[in-house]
């Protein structure tokens, strides 16, 4: 299996509505070849912006990614999916 590298940028977690650490762990269980790299590197084609609440304040760092996935609370790319379905929804988009 080919390693799936994604760059992850976290919000400040000041008003969490979801557990972003648990979400990352659920993604790792769902996608065993997943490798998370810092968002300040160019080692990935996919950027995952992880915001713990609906405000969606996670800023996009400079870089060229083919794809960006934004989590803001219980939404993925502005579509509500509920916390239990976040990892599955993200995995499908990857």
User: Average pLDDT for consecutive 10-residue bins of the chain (94 residues)?
Assistant: 87 92 94 90 88 91 90 96 95 93
At 7 the pLDDT is: 93
Cα 85 to Cα 12, 42, 61, 76, 88: the distances in Å are 22, 29, 26, 10, 5
Residue-range domain boundaries for the chain: 4-93
pTM across the whole model = 0.91
Residue 42 has a pLDDT of: 74
The pLDDT assigned to 45 comes to: 83
Give residue 51's pLDDT.
95
pLDDT of residue 1: 62
């Amino acid at each position: 299996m080919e390693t799936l590298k994604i760059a992850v940028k976290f919000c400040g977690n000041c008003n969490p509505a979801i557990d972003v650490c648990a979400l990352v762990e659920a993604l790792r269980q769902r996608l065993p070849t997943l490798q998370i790299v810092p968002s300040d590197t160019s080692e990935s084609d996919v950027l995952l912006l992880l915001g713990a609440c609906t405000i969606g304040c996670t800023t996009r760092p400079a870089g060229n990614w083919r794809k960006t996935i934004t989590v803001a609370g219980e939404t993925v790319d502005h579509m509500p999916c509920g916390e239990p379905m976040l990892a599955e929804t993200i995995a499908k988009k990857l």
